[in-house]
């Protein structure tokens, strides 16, 4: 048995345990912040998805793949959804300049 290897493996085991057990040592203190951050990121992702869809709808309309009536209806709905997401972001304190 290689002693150096045993020492290195033990060191790796201790380091891994330390890293992994960190959140358990700290209890649930960061859970509140993490929950808020997660909610904000979910909403930001949803907002970006709506923005992307609005741009794609515009490009589809301009390149002839959406009729004007369809485009207007889709655009209106997507913008309303984006506004609702912004409202929710503001409520969480995440959409201010």
Question: Which residues are at the interface with other proteins (CB under 8 A)?
Answer: 1-2, 4-6, 8-9, 12-13, 16, 19-24, 26-28, 30-31, 34-35, 37-38, 40-42, 44-46, 48-49, 51-56, 59-60, 62-67, 70, 79, 82-83, 86-87, 95-97
Q: How far is the CB of 72 from other proteins (least distance, A)?
A: 13
Q: How far is the CB of 94 from other proteins (least distance, A)?
A: 9
Residues of the chain by 3-state class (helix, strand, coil), percent to 5: 80, 0, 20
Q: How far is the CB of 84 from other proteins (least distance, A)?
A: 8
φ, ψ of residue 77 in degrees (nearest 5): -65, -45
């Amino acid at each position: 048995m290689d002693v150096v290897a045993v020492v290195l493996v033990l060191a790796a085991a201790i380091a891994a345990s330390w890293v992994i057990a960190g959140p358990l040592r700290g209890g649930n203190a960061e859970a509140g912040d993490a929950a808020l951050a997660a909610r904000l990121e979910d909403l930001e992702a949803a907002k970006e998805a709506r923005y992307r869809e609005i741009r794609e709808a515009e490009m589809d309309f301009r390149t002839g793949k959406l009729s004007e009536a369809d485009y207007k209806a889709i655009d209106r709905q997507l913008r309303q959804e984006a506004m609702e997401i912004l409202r929710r972001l503001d409520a969480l304190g995440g959409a201010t300049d």
